[in-house]
Structure 1
Amino acid sequence: MEVNVAGTTIFYPSTSPFNEDHILPLSHLDNDRNLAVTFRYLRVYAATNINNPTADPFQVITSVLSPTLVDYYPLTGSLRRRTDGRLELHCAAGDGLPVVRASVDCTLESVGYLNDPSADWIEKLAPNPDHDSSLETPAMLQVTVFSCGGFVLGTALHHAMCDGMGATLFFNSMAELARGETRIKVKPVWDRTTLLGPRNPPIVEFPMEEVLCLDKEFSPYAAEDEPVIRQCFEVKEKWLDLLKAFLVQQSGSNYTSFEALGAFLWRARVKASRIAGDEKVKYVYATNIRRTVQPPLPFGYWGNGCVPIFAQAIAKEILEKPIWETAELIKKSKGSITNEYVRSFVDFQEVNYEKGITGGKEVSGFTDWRHLGHSSVDFGWGGPLTVFPISRYIIGSPEPTFFLPYSAAKDGFKVMVHLKKSAIPAFKDEMEKLSTQHFN
């Protein structure tokens, strides 16, 4: 499949947002070493603009980008490292945000609306800056129009700038203007070091060393010894209901979809990857702390507002014990989601940043995108038909799993996994058990 790139245009704030060049500090959550990556993802839109059937997606999106950048001007800045290794944002007059214009000579229907994002060519639907470029230009967009008139909005955004919810505030602001609003509804709030800065002095009351490792020589995102494959699986609500009913029968306790399915997938991953039985394995997920932290973060806060939460066990325990016990581990980990955990995590970053903080080895990352608002971004074509990541390094896991929303017309949701090529056949066998209700 050929993606034809017409060119790249730089877009600037429509009016000058500041009088002097300046530096904006980032929070310790923004500076988490595990987030020192550019995250790339796609939104896929149908062909018909409800109010203007002949509208050009590139023109519509870029026409509202400049006014939105007046409030979100930090997206035009450059990330630079301080002497202590932490990032800060340099904002200068004349900086802008690049947007790539591209096209594909086929219909979205012919490629299944990208519901199965395993094809290599989809990597070309979003900008892919190298390491240095991603710091100099931390935000880039791409609009790729298909022959049917449908299009894909590709994003490449350095994770130090914001998380998924923060990025959605930006895109929803653009979308509001595209649908005819005269001003954005939610003003962005930057005040990152005040709202999420360390205490003075730092106080690490939660035992962070039980789940985090200090080793500046270790990188969770180092090159793997074999290819990592991206695969999507469907999860029907019926299958999930039966799994949760099975867990109730076995344990007498109720579990959420995230806990139940997470336990099933974690066990399947450990088994398929043939991890040594005595190896410590971790289940990590990012949880939104905007309302957890005290005082709560303002609604317009668009920096990183999530912290990693861990469950851990020995590999053979995951494989040999009843699956409800794994679900219980995940359930109990939610008890960590407190203001004290957040403050201790920030203070731990303050005290130990230069030592290199990671989750260690054999970390399975799980991220639920179903409720982040990704699907609500409507530029006039309705919400996206499909939303999915094409990056995989996140929360210290080189092989993460994403829970992704289907369109409203479809039952259930999608699970996107990343696994080493040799583990894929065995993992598929495990996923068959979900649809056939073989949960033991």
Structure 2
Amino acid sequence: MQVHIQETAVVPPSKPPFDGDQILPLSNLDLDRNNDVILRYLRVYANHQPRQQPPHPFQVITAALSAALVPYYPFAGNLRRRAEDGLLELHCHLGDGVPVVSAVVDCQLSSIDYLDAELENELTEQLVPNPNPNEDVIQPMMLQVTRFGCGGFVLGAAIHHAICDGLGATLCFNAMAELASGSGRITTDPVWNRSTLLGPRKPARVEFRIDEFLKFDRGYSPYSDSGKRALKECFNVEEDWLDNLKGLLYQQSGIKFTTFEALGAFIWRARTRSCEVPGEEMVTFAYSINVRKIVNPPLPNGYWGNGCVPIYIPLLAKDVAEQPIWKTADSIKKSKLKATDEYVRSFIDFQELHYAQGVTRRSRVSGFTDWRHLGHSTVDFGWGSPVAVVPLSRRLLGSTEPCFFLPGKEGGGMVKVLLHLDEDAIPAFRQEMGSKKESAGLLTKEWLLPSQWQ
């Protein structure tokens, strides 16, 4: 199955958004070294009216993008590193635009299950641009619209994490969707103002023990290639299964856990065991928490920069592997209490004071991210909500083996789990997920049927 590239258009704002060239500073959350990566993902749109001739999605999306780039013009700029310290900053010039690739595939989306099970093949990689984050000049956004024979299409996005997080990107895509509907205006005006809203205090000060989970290493990259082949594993977790898991943990602890806490602890345990991490070695559960309403004052609704801070939970590998799952889930729950205005300000100030020293994470980081509430379902260009959202990035939160919680295909409470794991550890991981050791607080194999594995 071959993707045929038809053209690449550079889409500028529909009218000049400013009078002269600009250089826009980024916030210290944007400049977190773990955000120096390209986020790549797909939105899959079905043609729900196959008997009608649908408009060409490339024309619809480029027109909507051009209009949206008037308020979201920074996406049309380019990221450059300052010579004196290597920090990224955004350069905006009149006439700049966002590259958008137009492509076609001569097959039906239904024949490949709308990419729902096509997560480890060459096709998905051909559906989104793959820019190099180490270039001297970096495009903050690149898109690809690939039309299938059925009239449906896939919108591939490659967005540099330094310019926004998932919530920020979705604000822009929702604005595009609103403009595509013919509304002529967007509901939420974007807000930049990053160096003021999330800038360091004067003087910068660190009152939270940030250094407990960070280290300094100028030459270390959190995304250095280990040389081992990592594969994707994808499985569906039914709502009943989740209810049973959370019910079991409640019986053991008297504590109610969210899906993220319970399922995250369950998977972290299976991953730690399957990778055979030495018991006295530290392993870290990492996730991001939205602080837009936590900081004082809260960020404006239209703030579209990185508005999340990382939370790290370091534990001994033997504790994760051996203690009841509810205790690990409780560590995740309690870690959320760190998310205060002081934690955010201390994290920002820590970056300000120590960035030049090479602030990075410790090893053995397992990154977990929940994409179920990012607003993907509201991005409707006229074809309805996307029927699938497929992340392709492997670099997240200092982890090269991230785990994504995605909306289930059936909707409701189902969770689709997509994780990356060392190829050698996958057989043991599957066995751990199906373990019968109920005395250790694991679920029985019957609760996670082999048929759920893809």
TM norm. shorter chain > 0.5: yes
Q: Of the candidates 272, 284, 287, which is equivalent to residue 285 of structure 1?
A: 287
Counterpart residue type for residue 311 of structure 2: I
* TM-score under structure 1 length normalisation: 0.97
Structure 1 residues 409 and 343: CA distance shift in structure 2, 3 A: closer
Shift of 1:392: 1.3
Mapping 1:378-393, distance limit 5 Å: 378-393=380-395
Deviation at 1:131, TM superposition (A): 2.8
Question: What is the CA–CA distance in structure 2 between the aligned matches of 1:432 and 1:408, rounded to whole Å?
Answer: 23
The residue type equivalent to 1:25 in the other structure is P
Match for 1:67: what amino acid?
A
Q: Residues 114-167 of structure 1, C-alpha deviation per residue, up to 9 Å, x if partnerless?
A: 112122321111000123458431210000011111110000011111000000
**Contact map agreement 1:255 1:327 (CA 8 A) in 2:** yes
Q: Which residue of 2 aligns with 1:147?
A: 149
Match of 2:7 in 1: 7
Structure 2, gaps ≥5 residues long: 436-442, 449-454
Shift of 1:52: 7.3
TM (normalized to structure 2)? 0.94
| Cα offsets for 1:303-340 (capped at 9, x unmatched) | 00000011111001111111111111111101101000
In 2, Cα distance between equivalents of 1:91 and 1:29: 20
Contact kept, 8 Å, 1:49 with 1:55, in 2: the verdict is no
5 Å-filtered alignment, 1:174-253, equals 174-253=176-255
Partner of 1:62: 62
The residue type paired with residue 290 of structure 1 is: R
Q: Deviations over 1:145-195 (max 9, x none)?
A: 111111100000111110000000000000001112111111100000000
Take 2:411 and 2:187, find their aligned partners in 1: how far apart are those partners? 29
Change over 3 Å in CA distance of 1:177–1:408 after alignment to 2? farther
For the aligned residue pairs, the C-alpha RMSD in angstroms reads: 1.6
Give the match for residue 132 of structure 2: 130
Could you tell me which residue of structure 2 aligns to residue 90 of structure 1? 91
Following TM superposition, by how much is the alpha carbon of 1:409 offset from its aligned partner in structure 2, in angstroms?
A: 4.6
SS at match of 1:9: strand
Answer whether contact 2:80 2:136 (CA < 8 A) is retained. no
Distance 2:434 2:8 in 1: 44
Equivalent residues of 1:49, 1:380 under 8 A apart: no
Q: Which residue of 1 aligns with 2:429?
A: 427
Q: Distance in 2 between matches of 1:396 and 1:197?
A: 22
Equivalences, count:
438
2:107 aligned partner: 106
Cα 1:60–1:157 shift into 2, 3 Å:
same
Contact 2:61 2:176 in 1 (8 A): yes
For 1:160 and 1:317, locate their aligned partners in 2 and report how far apart those are by CA, in whole Å.
34
Q: For 2:406 and 2:329, how far apart are their aligned partners in 1?
A: 20
SS of the residue aligned with 2:434?
helix
Aligned-pair distance for 1:415?
0.4
Note the C-alpha offset of 1:382.
0.8
Moved more, 130-139 or 334-343: 130-139
What is the percent sequence identity of the aligned residues?
55
Structure 1 residues 16-415: aligned runs within 5 Å = 16-48=16-48, 53-82=53-82, 83-116=84-117, 117-133=119-135, 135-407=137-409, 409=411, 412-415=414-417
Distance 1:105 1:134 in 2: 36
1:403–1:12 CA distance, 2 compared to 1 (3 A): same
Judge which range, 221-230 or 281-290, deviates more.
Answer: 221-230
Q: Provide the rounded CA distance (Å) in 2 between the counterparts of 1:425 and 1:135.
A: 42
Return structure 1 stretches of 4+ with deviation > 6 angstroms.
49-52
Q: How far apart are the structure 1 equivalents of 2:248 and 2:150? A: 45
The answer (yes or no) to whether the contact 1:9–1:99 under 8 Å persists in 2 is yes
